[in-house]
Amino acid sequence: MARLTSLLLSFALASSQAVLAADRTLAAEGDCIARTKNGDKPLSHWQLWHLSDGNYEVVDTSAKIASSVQIFRFDSQFLPVGYTLKFGPLSVPQIPNFPTFPGQTISCEYQTTKLICRGESSEGRKSTTSIAVKPPYVFTGEFYDLDLVWFMTGVVRLAARNGANDGVVNVYVLTDGAKAGDTGLKPDVPMKIVFKGEETTQVMGKTQVVKKYEWGSRALRVSKQGLVLSMRSGQVVYAISGYKEYEPWGPIR
């Protein structure tokens, strides 16, 4: 009987793994880095998954804190449709008696006229908040490890599509809610993305044509799929490194 139970469990596990594999295909992966005069600093490792429904999902894991995971969701045209941040519980064992911070998950869904965000702590506390929005728009917060490369990929894709008003993308940010521990949303300063032409350059190990954009004083280089390859902000360049592509992905522009 025990052997039969073990065989059934093994079959169930294998079946669930097969379903998961069929549900998504790994399209590409790589690292995000911060490049300074002192060298490159690894920020995160990401994997781009092509889902069975045609949409895409980027799973981005912090290089410094493994429990910090960001998920960027895109539709089949590679326009952003959602964002999730998971982190913690977080402790600092090097510091005696340092309190452990509870874990938190914040997951936002981009609807046509409404942004909905749900939060849940590792202690079981849940909250839901929403706000009426004006598309095109994105969501962000004061997340110290926000992956700027993938966040800006969504912004540029929205600014470059037909229907965007002069490259302006509206922004909605996370705030404290009316009650302690709750969250809220509010509009922030819109982002204006300006197209500055194309150039042929050496990127990710090959010569290719990239599009140039500017966001204020920041210079961006974008691939034909719409992926932000680099963004210069002051003396720091946030960039893709170690890029590996396993299947063609994204709309070619």
User: Per-residue confidence at 104, pLDDT binned at 50, 70, 90?
Assistant: confident
Is residue 12 in some structural domain? no
- Domains: count for the chain: 1
Phi, psi angles (nearest 5°) of residue 224: -65, -25
Is residue 151 in some structural domain? yes
Burial 128-139 (b: 16+ CB within 10 A, else e): ebeeebebbbbb
Containing domain of residue 238, as a range?
A: 24-90+99-245
pLDDT in tens, 179-236: 555 678 999 999 999 999 999 988 777 788 999 999 999 999 999 888 999 999 999 9
Is residue 222 exposed (0-12), middle (13-18) or buried (19+ Cβ within 10 Å)?
A: buried
Q: What is the pTM of this model?
A: 0.84
Could you give the maximum distance between any two Cα atoms of the chain, in Å? 70
User: Strand pairing partners for 70?
Assistant: 60, 85
Q: What is the pLDDT of residue 141?
A: 85
The closest of 130, 124, 123, 149 to 30, measured between CA atoms, is 149
pLDDT in tens, 236-247: 999 999 999 999
Mean pLDDT of the chain: 84
Is residue 141 in some structural domain? yes
pLDDT in tens, 42-51: 999 999 999 9
Is residue 8 in some structural domain? no
Distance CA(45)–CA(240), nearest Å, equals 10
CB neighbour list of residue 54: distance below 8 Å, 6 or more residues apart? 75, 76
Asked whether 46 and 30 are in contact (CB, 8 A), the reply is: yes
Is residue 33 in some structural domain? yes
Q: What is the pLDDT of residue 7?
A: 38
Please count the helices (runs of H) and the strands (runs of E) in the chain. 2, 16
